[in-house]
Amino acid sequence: MNYLQPERLDRLAREYVLGTLTGGARRRFERVLATSPAASLAVGAWQQRFSVLAAAVPPLQPREATWQQLERRLFPVASQSAVKAGGFGAWLAGLLSARSLGGALTGVLLCLAVLRLQPGLIGLQPPSEALPQSYVGLLSDAEGRPAVLASSLRHGRQLSVKLLQPVAVPAGRVAQLWALPRDGSAPFPVGVVPDHGSGVVALADSSETLFFNVTRLAVSLEAAPAQAGAAPSAPFVLIGPCVKLW
Protein backbone atom coordinates (compact mmCIF):
# COMPACT_ATOMS: atom_id res chain seq x y z
CA MET A 1 0.00 0.00 0.00
CA ASN A 2 1.27 3.48 -0.91
CA TYR A 3 0.84 5.42 2.34
CA LEU A 4 2.14 8.62 0.73
CA GLN A 5 -0.65 8.89 -1.82
CA PRO A 6 -2.01 12.38 -0.90
CA GLU A 7 -5.64 11.51 -0.09
CA ARG A 8 -4.68 8.34 1.81
CA LEU A 9 -1.92 10.14 3.72
CA ASP A 10 -4.28 12.94 4.69
CA ARG A 11 -6.89 10.47 5.99
CA LEU A 12 -4.35 8.41 7.94
CA ALA A 13 -2.78 11.52 9.47
CA ARG A 14 -6.22 12.78 10.57
CA GLU A 15 -7.15 9.44 12.15
CA TYR A 16 -3.70 9.17 13.80
CA VAL A 17 -4.07 12.59 15.46
CA LEU A 18 -7.65 11.85 16.52
CA GLY A 19 -6.58 8.51 18.02
CA THR A 20 -9.01 6.49 15.89
CA LEU A 21 -6.16 4.78 14.02
CA THR A 22 -5.41 1.77 16.22
CA GLY A 23 -3.75 -1.64 16.31
CA GLY A 24 -1.58 -2.79 13.44
CA ALA A 25 -2.65 0.10 11.21
CA ARG A 26 -1.33 2.62 13.75
CA ARG A 27 1.96 0.75 14.17
CA ARG A 28 2.47 0.60 10.39
CA PHE A 29 1.73 4.31 10.05
CA GLU A 30 4.17 5.13 12.87
CA ARG A 31 6.91 3.33 10.94
CA VAL A 32 6.10 5.48 7.91
CA LEU A 33 6.01 8.55 10.15
CA ALA A 34 9.52 7.84 11.43
CA THR A 35 11.03 8.00 7.93
CA SER A 36 8.78 10.26 5.85
CA PRO A 37 8.90 14.09 6.09
CA ALA A 38 5.63 14.26 4.13
CA ALA A 39 3.88 12.11 6.77
CA SER A 40 5.30 14.27 9.57
CA LEU A 41 4.03 17.39 7.83
CA ALA A 42 0.55 15.92 7.37
CA VAL A 43 0.35 14.94 11.05
CA GLY A 44 1.63 18.38 12.10
CA ALA A 45 -0.99 20.09 9.93
CA TRP A 46 -3.81 18.11 11.57
CA GLN A 47 -2.39 18.78 15.06
CA GLN A 48 -2.46 22.48 14.27
CA ARG A 49 -6.10 22.33 13.20
CA PHE A 50 -7.21 20.30 16.20
CA SER A 51 -5.35 22.52 18.65
CA VAL A 52 -8.13 25.13 18.56
CA LEU A 53 -10.84 22.71 19.68
CA ALA A 54 -10.29 23.38 23.37
CA ALA A 55 -10.87 27.09 22.83
CA ALA A 56 -13.79 26.59 20.45
CA VAL A 57 -15.91 24.31 22.67
CA PRO A 58 -17.40 25.97 25.77
CA PRO A 59 -17.29 23.92 29.00
CA LEU A 60 -20.51 22.20 30.06
CA GLN A 61 -21.25 21.49 33.72
CA PRO A 62 -24.23 19.20 34.38
CA ARG A 63 -26.22 19.66 37.58
CA GLU A 64 -25.02 17.85 40.71
CA ALA A 65 -28.25 15.87 40.86
CA THR A 66 -27.63 14.53 37.37
CA TRP A 67 -24.25 13.06 38.38
CA GLN A 68 -25.70 11.52 41.53
CA GLN A 69 -28.50 9.84 39.58
CA LEU A 70 -26.05 8.49 37.01
CA GLU A 71 -23.78 7.09 39.72
CA ARG A 72 -26.67 5.35 41.48
CA ARG A 73 -27.99 3.86 38.23
CA LEU A 74 -24.66 2.82 36.70
CA PHE A 75 -22.62 1.83 39.77
CA PRO A 76 -25.05 1.04 42.58
CA VAL A 77 -22.96 -1.72 44.20
CA ALA A 78 -19.63 0.09 43.80
CA SER A 79 -21.04 3.30 45.27
CA GLN A 80 -22.42 1.56 48.36
CA SER A 81 -19.20 -0.45 48.90
CA ALA A 82 -17.04 2.64 48.57
CA VAL A 83 -19.07 4.54 51.12
CA LYS A 84 -18.68 1.67 53.61
CA ALA A 85 -14.97 1.11 52.90
CA GLY A 86 -13.93 4.78 52.86
CA GLY A 87 -10.29 5.75 52.23
CA PHE A 88 -8.76 4.29 49.09
CA GLY A 89 -12.00 2.60 48.08
CA ALA A 90 -13.86 5.90 48.06
CA TRP A 91 -11.08 7.55 46.08
CA LEU A 92 -11.05 4.76 43.47
CA ALA A 93 -14.80 4.80 43.14
CA GLY A 94 -14.69 8.54 42.60
CA LEU A 95 -12.04 8.14 39.92
CA LEU A 96 -14.13 5.57 38.06
CA SER A 97 -17.46 7.24 38.75
CA ALA A 98 -19.97 8.28 36.16
CA ARG A 99 -18.87 11.86 36.74
CA SER A 100 -15.27 11.18 35.68
CA LEU A 101 -16.12 8.81 32.85
CA GLY A 102 -19.02 10.94 31.73
CA GLY A 103 -16.85 14.03 31.61
CA ALA A 104 -14.32 12.31 29.37
CA LEU A 105 -17.06 10.94 27.13
CA THR A 106 -18.72 14.35 26.91
CA GLY A 107 -15.44 15.89 25.77
CA VAL A 108 -14.98 13.30 23.05
CA LEU A 109 -18.54 13.70 21.80
CA LEU A 110 -18.26 17.48 21.76
CA CYS A 111 -15.05 17.30 19.73
CA LEU A 112 -16.65 14.97 17.20
CA ALA A 113 -19.74 17.18 17.00
CA VAL A 114 -17.65 20.28 16.32
CA LEU A 115 -15.66 18.46 13.65
CA ARG A 116 -18.79 17.25 11.90
CA LEU A 117 -21.09 20.26 12.25
CA GLN A 118 -18.66 23.20 12.26
CA PRO A 119 -15.54 22.24 10.28
CA GLY A 120 -14.80 25.91 9.64
CA LEU A 121 -13.64 26.27 13.25
CA ILE A 122 -10.50 24.27 12.51
CA GLY A 123 -9.89 25.40 8.97
CA LEU A 124 -11.45 22.44 7.15
CA GLN A 125 -13.39 22.89 3.94
CA PRO A 126 -17.03 21.67 4.41
CA PRO A 127 -17.44 20.02 0.97
CA SER A 128 -14.43 17.70 1.39
CA GLU A 129 -12.62 15.77 4.08
CA ALA A 130 -9.25 16.36 2.40
CA LEU A 131 -6.89 19.18 3.30
CA PRO A 132 -7.01 22.11 0.87
CA GLN A 133 -4.13 22.36 -1.58
CA SER A 134 -1.33 23.88 0.46
CA TYR A 135 2.37 24.38 0.89
CA VAL A 136 3.51 23.17 4.31
CA GLY A 137 6.88 23.42 6.05
CA LEU A 138 8.04 21.74 9.24
CA LEU A 139 11.22 23.23 10.74
CA SER A 140 13.29 21.44 13.38
CA ASP A 141 16.06 22.52 15.73
CA ALA A 142 19.62 21.16 15.86
CA GLU A 143 18.43 18.16 17.92
CA GLY A 144 15.80 17.28 15.33
CA ARG A 145 12.83 18.40 17.44
CA PRO A 146 9.95 19.97 15.45
CA ALA A 147 9.82 23.66 16.30
CA VAL A 148 7.82 25.58 13.68
CA LEU A 149 4.91 24.58 11.45
CA ALA A 150 4.21 26.87 8.48
CA SER A 151 1.39 26.49 5.97
CA SER A 152 -0.24 28.47 3.20
CA LEU A 153 -2.98 27.79 0.69
CA ARG A 154 -1.62 27.08 -2.76
CA HIS A 155 -2.75 30.42 -4.19
CA GLY A 156 -2.84 32.30 -0.90
CA ARG A 157 -0.81 35.36 0.01
CA GLN A 158 -0.51 34.64 3.73
CA LEU A 159 1.60 32.12 5.61
CA SER A 160 0.22 30.75 8.89
CA VAL A 161 3.00 30.05 11.38
CA LYS A 162 2.63 28.05 14.59
CA LEU A 163 5.42 27.45 17.09
CA LEU A 164 5.53 23.87 18.36
CA GLN A 165 8.10 24.90 20.97
CA PRO A 166 9.44 28.33 22.02
CA VAL A 167 12.16 29.87 19.87
CA ALA A 168 14.85 31.66 21.86
CA VAL A 169 15.30 35.04 20.16
CA PRO A 170 17.92 37.29 21.82
CA ALA A 171 17.05 40.92 22.48
CA GLY A 172 17.59 43.06 19.41
CA ARG A 173 17.18 40.12 17.03
CA VAL A 174 14.33 38.71 14.94
CA ALA A 175 13.64 35.14 13.79
CA GLN A 176 13.86 35.59 10.02
CA LEU A 177 12.26 32.91 7.83
CA TRP A 178 14.02 32.01 4.57
CA ALA A 179 13.03 29.90 1.56
CA LEU A 180 15.71 27.65 0.06
CA PRO A 181 15.18 26.94 -3.67
CA ARG A 182 15.51 23.47 -5.13
CA ASP A 183 18.33 24.46 -7.50
CA GLY A 184 20.64 25.58 -4.71
CA SER A 185 20.39 29.27 -5.53
CA ALA A 186 20.48 31.92 -2.80
CA PRO A 187 17.82 31.81 -0.07
CA PHE A 188 15.24 34.57 -0.17
CA PRO A 189 13.42 36.15 2.81
CA VAL A 190 9.80 35.21 3.52
CA GLY A 191 8.99 37.04 6.76
CA VAL A 192 9.55 37.18 10.50
CA VAL A 193 8.49 34.26 12.71
CA PRO A 194 6.91 35.10 16.10
CA ASP A 195 8.96 33.99 19.12
CA HIS A 196 5.95 32.26 20.71
CA GLY A 197 2.39 31.19 19.93
CA SER A 198 1.29 31.64 16.33
CA GLY A 199 1.00 34.35 13.74
CA VAL A 200 0.38 35.22 10.10
CA VAL A 201 3.08 36.39 7.69
CA ALA A 202 2.05 38.47 4.68
CA LEU A 203 3.68 37.11 1.52
CA ALA A 204 5.19 39.21 -1.26
CA ASP A 205 3.42 37.04 -3.86
CA SER A 206 1.21 33.96 -4.02
CA SER A 207 2.42 30.74 -2.40
CA GLU A 208 2.46 29.06 -5.79
CA THR A 209 4.84 31.67 -7.14
CA LEU A 210 7.10 31.78 -4.08
CA PHE A 211 7.29 28.13 -3.05
CA PHE A 212 6.84 26.17 -6.29
CA ASN A 213 10.61 25.50 -6.53
CA VAL A 214 11.36 25.64 -2.80
CA THR A 215 12.27 22.42 -0.99
CA ARG A 216 13.29 23.74 2.44
CA LEU A 217 12.55 26.56 4.86
CA ALA A 218 14.99 27.87 7.46
CA VAL A 219 15.23 30.44 10.24
CA SER A 220 18.19 32.60 11.19
CA LEU A 221 18.47 35.23 13.91
CA GLU A 222 18.95 38.61 12.25
CA ALA A 223 19.42 42.15 13.55
CA ALA A 224 16.37 43.34 11.56
CA PRO A 225 13.76 41.91 9.18
CA ALA A 226 15.43 41.05 5.88
CA GLN A 227 14.49 43.00 2.77
CA ALA A 228 14.06 41.58 -0.72
CA GLY A 229 17.42 40.56 -2.16
CA ALA A 230 19.06 40.21 1.25
CA ALA A 231 21.03 37.12 2.30
CA PRO A 232 21.27 35.43 5.72
CA SER A 233 23.97 36.99 7.90
CA ALA A 234 23.85 34.29 10.60
CA PRO A 235 23.70 30.48 10.67
CA PHE A 236 20.33 28.76 10.45
CA VAL A 237 18.97 27.73 13.86
CA LEU A 238 15.93 25.94 12.42
CA ILE A 239 15.54 24.15 9.10
CA GLY A 240 13.15 21.65 7.53
CA PRO A 241 11.39 20.47 4.38
CA CYS A 242 8.77 22.43 2.48
CA VAL A 243 6.33 20.26 0.53
CA LYS A 244 3.15 20.70 -1.43
CA LEU A 245 0.08 18.76 -0.29
CA TRP A 246 -2.05 17.85 -3.30
The domain segmentation of the chain, as residue ranges, is 6-51, 134-245
148 close to 193: Cβ distance less than 8 angstroms? yes
Encode the chain (246 residues) as per-residue pLDDT tens digits: 777 777 788 888 888 887 788 888 889 988 888 888 888 888 887 877 666 554 444 555 666 777 677 667 766 655 455 555 555 555 545 544 555 555 545 554 544 544 454 444 444 444 445 557 889 898 988 888 888 999 999 999 999 999 988 889 999 999 999 999 999 999 999 999 988 888 999 999 999 999 999 999 999 999 999 999 999 999 999 999 998 887
Instruction: Please check whether residue 242 is in contact with residue 217, taking contact to mean a CB–CB distance below 8 angstroms.
Output: yes
Are the CB atoms for 137 and 151 separated by under 8 Å?
yes
Q: Cα separation of 135 and 153, whole Å?
A: 6
Reduced DSSP (H G I as helix, E B as strand, rest coil) percent helix, strand, coil of the chain, to 5? 40, 25, 35
The answer to whether the beta carbons of residues 243 and 139 sit under 8 Å apart is no
Helix, coil or strand: residue 50: helix
The conformation of residue 59, written as its DSSP 8-state character, comes to: P
Q: How far is CA 146 from the centre of its chain?
A: 11
